Amino acid sequence: MGSETSNKLYLEDLHVGQRFTSGSIRVDEERIKSFAAEFDPQPFHLDDTASRSTIFRGLAASGWHTAAIAMRLLVDGGLPLANGIIGLGGELAWPNPTRPGDTLHVESEVIEIAPSRSKPNQGVVKVRSTTLNQDGQAVHVFTGKVLVVRRPG
C-alpha cells in the first residue's frame, strides 16, 4: 500500500455515478474443476457428464470461483483505490453460470459515498460491480461496501 498510488483514487476523487471497467480473464475448464474440488465439490462444478442432468445443464464454475475471479479483476485495475480494496460486505447474486472458456470482465459503478463521522480520514463507499461474460450476460453482481481513505494531509 502506498508505493504505487500515484494514479489511484482517494475518497475525495470519487463521485456517485463514476464508472470503471476492468481488464478481462478467460476462465479455464481445468481450473473450474480444481477450484470446485477444493472448495465446492458438487457434480455440476466437477464433472462434464454429471453436470448435464443438473439444473445447470452443463459444467458451471462455483459461484465463489466467479466471485474470486471478479475480485482479481478489481484488484488488477478494475477499481483503482489508493488504499486497496477492503470490502466490508455486501449483496451478491449469480444471475447466470460461468462456463468453461468464458471471458469475464467487471464493470463497476459508485452507488453511494458515506464519509465516516468518527474517522474523518475515511469513508465507506458502495460500489456495484457487475461481472459480464463475452456475450454481455451478467454472471455475478456484487454491491459491496468498501473502505476508502482520504488523501493524506
Q: Which residues bind a copy of itself (CB under 8 A)?
A: 1, 35, 38-44, 50, 53-55, 62-65, 67-69, 71-72, 75, 83-94, 141, 147
Inter-axis angle of helices 29-39 and 63-73, nearest 10: 120
CB of 12 to a copy of itself, least distance (A): 19
Which residue, 15 or 38, is less far from a copy of itself as judged by CB?
38
- For the purposes of burial, counting CB atoms within 10 Å of the CB of 35, is it exposed (0-12), middle (13-18) or buried (19 or more)? buried
Which residue, 69 or 125, is less far from a copy of itself as judged by CB?
69
Q: b or e along 107-125 (b: 16 or more beta carbons within 10 Å of the residue's beta carbon)?
A: bbebeebeeeeeeeebbeb
CB of 101 to a copy of itself, least distance (A): 19
Which residue, 17 or 124, is less far from a copy of itself as judged by CB?
124
Which residues, listed in sequence order, are joined to residue 69 by a DSSP beta bridge? none
Which residue, 43 or 100, is less far from a copy of itself as judged by CB?
43
